[in-house]
């Protein structure tokens, strides 16, 4: 064999192995939520809430709605089209919002509106996401009721133990557990879904006709306008579509698409069709069609597998919550929080204690408050339908501006999707009195907090600039009679590179010295995932420098490490052991002003600002090299 050709098969083999590994990972993480939807979708559709009789036409019509919802909403919208709207390889509603804003004229009204829409969508995504662990694990453990009705009393306690243990484990390296455990569980789970479905379809192959969209049309014709409300149950089959886009950066579009079309979609549809066949053969099975078609000897193993699969789906939701929170922090929509890296090999594997314990409290409250997966299903879908609607709007904005060759067909496609999303929204809106109010109210609260933090930071910066001194005029006057110079480097963090930092003024006032090198440092977060030009240095003279550090919204802002890179671009010398960081810690005082926020929002911002994680920890500044100087600001 020619030696020059030997590496090629090896590289191809490594590529194939990597692709297969990413596909397995995508099955476990990306499709964890949507993969556990067979546990409760048809069960909820045939619940007394909808009054749907389990007869032949209703079963085929419902299965047809599920099939075409999966094909249009998940396969076409998310897997095929929206995965192309990557923000330099990253996905999710925050990334899509940043991409849509970047496609518009800077400073235009449209950018502001897109920001409002995107942040509202992110708040709704989080509020609906906390329902996933509760409803999934509850639905799995409720299989104990099929084994024996007497076991109903332990369903809630077992569910709570599983969920609390899951949240408690987040501080450890969950990525390693996911690789070793969740991958095999995902493979076994989807294989089990397919096998169970095929076994039931053989008893009533009539259900295969449901792939014909005429059965869905006939369902609406038979039930008139009342038929649209069944979409409130059908949406349970497509929940998790947003997660497909959110995890784009972790797995890539190709592994996600292959995992969906080759494994996830066939397994889901076979199982849904199998459940429909079981209901046709035995209408009583509509009470819980997932479990009631399983032989008695297989119930306990299936309950254990289902619980493991729902833990896998919940882990994906929790990890997604950490990722969205990190993006929101970097983009300036939520206060700084403590972010811990739990893996020495994967920089994206993070743990945010504040988000973790908040989610746990909400999830535990949902399990205790609602008490069953059927009750939670009434709360599920309201926020999800609105998030899907917002995704379609943002996709249309991106397609119009950035895809000139494709917008001829993408924009009409978005219009069709908009009609579908509106139908889902109307169907789920009627759930609000039955429990749908909770995720909607939680979304409103989160949106208010996000907008208050964003607006408050803008007002705070304006007040600091108003009282600030122009750097260009101050430094020349200072050097006319300079204070005593001392060895070392002083770094003064400032939000406005043209204004003298308060910390610098306080240092002059109290210490009456100047360091040999003085750096006025501004840290900026870009609306792209990763910064391609990290450091920009401007030499002012007399030992003064203005430095701009640029981070993407997916990056961890490690200021000392980034400053070390300045040695490569200018004559600024950064010795970590001879550098002191000066921060100005503002104390916010809320007061009523015409050009500000209402007083209650001022107080809310002051509370959020007071409880935000310290800047030093967020920027990885060593505590023994830090000097903090306080100042009071009214907004």
Please give the pLDDT value at position 16: 52
Q: How many Cα atoms sit within 13 Å of 297 on the Cβ side? A: 0
Q: For residues 60 and 205, give the distance between their C-alpha atoms in angstroms, rounded to a whole number.
A: 11
Beta strand residue intervals within 153-221, DSSP E: none
Q: For residues 360 and 163, give the distance between their C-alpha atoms in angstroms, rounded to a whole number.
A: 8
Inter-residue contact 218 to 62 (CB < 8 Å): no
Q: For residues 135 and 163, give the distance between their C-alpha atoms in angstroms, rounded to a whole number.
A: 11
Question: Mind listing the pLDDT tens digit for each residue in 576-591?
Answer: 888 899 888 777 777 7
* Ramachandran area for residue 602 (φ above 0: left; ψ -120 to 50: alpha; else beta): alpha
Q: For residues 466 and 456, give the distance between their C-alpha atoms in angstroms, rounded to a whole number.
A: 15
Q: For residue 562, what pLDDT band results from cuts at 50, 70 and 90?
A: confident
Return the higher-pLDDT residue of 7 and 566: 566
Please give the pLDDT value at position 219: 92
Q: For residues 358 and 116, give the distance between their C-alpha atoms in angstroms, rounded to a whole number.
A: 24
Q: For residue 567, what pLDDT band results from cuts at 50, 70 and 90?
A: low
Q: Which residue has the tokens 């895809």?
A: 403
Q: Looking at 178-182, 204-208, 446-450, which range is the least confident one?
A: 178-182
Structure tokens at 133: 């662990």
Checking if the pLDDT of 409 tops 80, the result is yes
Question: Residue 426, exposed/middle/buried by CB under 10 A (0-12, 13-18, 19+)?
Answer: middle
Please give the pLDDT value at position 14: 41
Checking if the pLDDT of 381 tops 90, the result is no
Nearest-CA neighbor of 272 among 486, 438, 71? 71
Checking if the pLDDT of 492 tops 50, the result is yes
Question: Mind listing the pLDDT tens digit for each residue in 125-155?
Answer: 888 778 888 988 998 898 888 888 888 889 9
Give the angle subtended at the CA of 537 by the CAs of 531 and 540, to the nearest 5°.
155
Question: Mind listing the pLDDT tens digit for each residue in 335-352?
Answer: 888 887 766 555 556 788
- What is the pLDDT of the chain when averaged over all its residues? 84
Checking if the pLDDT of 374 tops 70, the result is yes
Rounded average pLDDT over 210-229: 88
Please give the pLDDT value at position 175: 59
Q: For residues 121 and 241, give the distance between their C-alpha atoms in angstroms, rounded to a whole number.
A: 14
Q: For residue 160, what pLDDT band results from cuts at 50, 70 and 90?
A: very high
Where is mean pLDDT largest: 362-371, 373-382, 403-412? 362-371
Return the higher-pLDDT residue of 63 and 131: 63
Q: For residue 11, what pLDDT band results from cuts at 50, 70 and 90?
A: very low
Please give the pLDDT value at position 15: 47
Checking if the pLDDT of 7 tops 60, the result is no
Question: Mind listing the pLDDT tens digit for each residue in 93-126?
Answer: 888 888 888 877 676 788 888 888 888 888 888 8
Please give the pLDDT value at position 343: 61
Q: For residues 635 and 632, give the distance between their C-alpha atoms in angstroms, rounded to a whole number.
A: 10
Q: Looking at 222-231, 429-438, 591-600, which range is the least confident one?
A: 591-600
Rounded average pLDDT over 163-191: 80
Inter-residue contact 443 to 383 (CB < 8 Å): yes
Please give the pLDDT value at position 2: 37
Q: Quick one: DSSP state of residue 91?
A: -
Q: For residue 174, what pLDDT band results from cuts at 50, 70 and 90?
A: low
Please give the pLDDT value at position 177: 64
Q: For residues 80 and 77, give the distance between their C-alpha atoms in angstroms, rounded to a whole number.
A: 6
Return the higher-pLDDT residue of 498 and 567: 498
Contacts by residues 204-207 (CB-CB < 8 Å, ≥ 24 positions apart) = 204/276, 204/277, 204/278, 204/280, 204/281, 205/277, 206/56, 206/60, 206/277, 206/280, 207/59, 207/60, 207/63, 207/273, 207/274, 207/276, 207/277, 207/280
Structure tokens at 213: 């969209």
Question: Residue 544, exposed/middle/buried by CB under 10 A (0-12, 13-18, 19+)?
Answer: middle
Inter-residue contact 299 to 147 (CB < 8 Å): yes
Please give the pLDDT value at position 156: 93
Phi, psi of 490 (to 5 degrees): -115, 130
Inter-residue contact 189 to 305 (CB < 8 Å): yes
Rounded average pLDDT over 311-322: 82
Please give the pLDDT value at position 173: 66
Domain 19-455: give its CATH superfamily: Amino acid/polyamine transporter I (1.20.1740.10)
Return the higher-pLDDT residue of 511 and 17: 511
Q: For residues 262 and 19, give the distance between their C-alpha atoms in angstroms, rounded to a whole number.
A: 13
Q: Where are the domains of the chain?
A: 19-455, 470-634
Inter-residue contact 125 to 93 (CB < 8 Å): yes
Inter-residue contact 378 to 44 (CB < 8 Å): no
Distances (CA, A) of 546 to 33, 304, 578: 47, 59, 19
Structure tokens at 300: 């306990």
Phi, psi of 613 (to 5 degrees): -65, 145
Return the higher-pLDDT residue of 14 and 457: 457
Please give the pLDDT value at position 345: 57
Return the higher-pLDDT residue of 212 and 242: 212
Instruction: Give the percent of the chain with pLDDT over 70.
Output: 93
Q: Collect all residues with Cβ–Cβ distance below 8 Å to 222 and sequence separation of at least 6.
A: 57, 61
Please give the pLDDT value at position 12: 42
Beta-strand pair 626-634/579-589: parallel
Q: For residues 356 and 365, give the distance between their C-alpha atoms in angstroms, rounded to a whole number.
A: 14
Please give the pLDDT value at position 568: 60
CA dihedral 607, 112, 77, 241 (to 10 degrees): 0
Please give the pLDDT value at position 164: 93
Question: Residue 314, exposed/middle/buried by CB under 10 A (0-12, 13-18, 19+)?
Answer: buried
């Amino acid at each position: 064999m020619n030696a020059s050709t030997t590496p090629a098969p090896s590289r191809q083999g490594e590529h194939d192995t990597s692709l297969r590994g990413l596909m397995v990972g995508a099955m476990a993480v990306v499709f964890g939520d949507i993969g556990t939807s067979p546990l409760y979708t048809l069960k909820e559709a045939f619940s007394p809430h909808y009054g749907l009789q389990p007869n032949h036409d209703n079963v085929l019509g419902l299965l047809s709605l599920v099939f075409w919802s999966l094909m249009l909403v998940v396969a076409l919208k998310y897997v095929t089209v929206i995965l192309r709207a990557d923000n330099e390889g990253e996905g999710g509603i925050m990334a899509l919002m940043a991409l849509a804003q970047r496609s518009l004229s800077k400073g235009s009204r449209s950018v502001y509106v897109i920001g409002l829409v995107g942040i509202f969508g992110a708040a709704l995504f989080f509020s609906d996401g906390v329902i996933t662990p509760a409803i999934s694990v509850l639905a799995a453990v409720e299989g104990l009721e099929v084994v024996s009705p007497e076991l109903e009393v332990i369903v809630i306690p077992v569910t709570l133990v599983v969920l609390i243990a899951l949240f408690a484990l987040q501080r450890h390296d969950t990525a390693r557990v996911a690789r070793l455990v969740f991958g095999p569980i995902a493979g076994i789970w989807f294989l089990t879904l397919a096998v169970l479905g095929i076994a039931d379809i053989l008893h009533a192959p009539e259900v295969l006709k449901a792939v014909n969209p005429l059965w869905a049309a006939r369902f609406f014709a038979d039930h008139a306008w009342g038929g649209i409300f069944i979409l409130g149950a059908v949406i349970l089959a497509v929940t998790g579509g947003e997660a497909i886009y959110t995890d784009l950066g972790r797995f890539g579009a190709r592994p996600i698409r292959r995992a969906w079309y080759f494994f996830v979609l066939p397994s889901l549809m076979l199982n849904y069709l199998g459940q429909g066949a079981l209901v046709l053969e035995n209408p009583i099975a509509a009470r819980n069609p997932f479990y009631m078609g399983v032989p008695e000897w297989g119930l306990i193993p299936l309950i254990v597998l289902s619980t493991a699969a729902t833990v896998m789906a919940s882990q994906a939701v929790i990890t997604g919550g950490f990722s969205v929170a990190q993006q929101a922090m970097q983009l300036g929509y939520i206060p700084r929080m403590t972010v811990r890296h739990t893996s020495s090999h994967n920089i994206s594997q993070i743990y945010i204690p504040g988000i973790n314990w908040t989610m746990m409290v909400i999830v535990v409250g949902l399990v205790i408050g609602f008490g069953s997966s059927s009750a939670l299903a009434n709360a599920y879908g309201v926020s999800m339908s609105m998030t899907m609607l917002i995704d379609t709007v943002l996709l249309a904005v991106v397609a119009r501006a950035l895809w000139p060759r494709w917008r001829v067909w993408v924009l009409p496609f978005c219009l069709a999707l908009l009609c579908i999303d509106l139908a889902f929204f109307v169907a789920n809106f009627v759930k609000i009195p039955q429990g749908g109010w909770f995720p909607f109210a939680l979304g409103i609260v989160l949106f208010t907090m996000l907008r208050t933090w964003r607006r408050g930071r803008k007002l705070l910066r304006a007040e600091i600039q108003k009282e600030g001194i122009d750097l260009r005029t101050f430094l020349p006057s200072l050097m006319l009679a300079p204070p005593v110079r001392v060895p070392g480097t002083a770094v003064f963090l400032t939000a406005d590179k043209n204004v003298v930092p308060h910390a610098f003024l306080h240092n002059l006032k109290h210490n009456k010295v100047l360091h040999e090198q003085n750096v006025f440092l501004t840290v900026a977060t870009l609306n792209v995932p990763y910064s391609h030009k990290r450091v920009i240095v401007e030499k002012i003279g007399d030992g003064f420098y203005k430095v701009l550090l640029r981070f993407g919204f997916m990056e961890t802002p490690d200021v000392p490490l980034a400053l070390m890179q300045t040695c490569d671009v200018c004559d600024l010398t950064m010795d970590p052991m001879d550098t002191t960081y000066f921060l100005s810690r503002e104390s916010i005082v809320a007061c009523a002003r015409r050009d500000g926020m209402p007083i209650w929002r001022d107080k809310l911002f002051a509370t959020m600002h007071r409880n935000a994680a310290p800047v030093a920890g967020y920027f990885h500044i060593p505590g023994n090299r830090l000097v903090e100087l306080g100042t009071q600001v009214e907004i």
